[in-house]
Copies of this chain bind each other. A is one copy, B any other.
């Protein structure tokens, strides 16, 4: 079998990737949100996550200013809102309104959360590192909460939680079934 060069699409080799909505306030407390799939846990103790945001991103700018953000995990019913969040900039116009979602303040950080998501992480900016054309925003997780019908006993119930896994472009896939390694 001969393998073919995929250098142009190297990043899609690391997909499918869970797509989340990242939200923050502007200085005048207007909520903004973006879609992100370049995100990963970074440390269990202390609890840290890393999100890679384009340097041109408006949400990145807001997080660097406010030092707080939330990670909102949407499911299939929010696909249209995710697509709007991922393809428009909040610099011009009200993206929240275009997404058709409701926001409210987070519990313990100065950032908004998006109604109707399956789980939430509330984060305080810990470190910002320039990496190529992106900035790695390292967030300390101060709160984490989830819908108990979808996330149970420390894991997603993938048959119930229709998590959006980004394949590239407008294409997503869903997790299905479980296999045990031992």
Q: A-side interface residues toward B, CB under 8 Å?
A: 1, 3-18, 20, 38-50, 52, 71, 73, 76, 79-80, 82-83, 119-121, 127, 129, 131-134, 136, 138, 141, 143-149, 151, 154-156, 158, 163, 165, 167-182
Q: Which residues of B contact A163 (CB under 8 A)?
A: 16
Known pairs A43-B134, A121-B13; A173 contacts B167 (CB<8 A): no
Q: Which residue of B lies closest to A9 (CB)?
A: B154
Q: Which residues of B contact A148 (CB under 8 A)?
A: 3-4
* A11–B1 alpha-carbon span in the complex (Å): 37
CB pair B4 A14 closer than 8 Å: no
* A43–B179 alpha-carbon span in the complex (Å): 32
CB pair A82 B146 closer than 8 Å: no
Q: Which residues of B contact A179 (CB under 8 A)?
A: 76, 79, 171-174
Q: Which residues of B contact A8 (CB under 8 A)?
A: 154
* A131–B50 alpha-carbon span in the complex (Å): 9
Partner of A52 from B40, B156, B174 at Cβ < 8 Å? B40
CB pair A171 B155 closer than 8 Å: yes
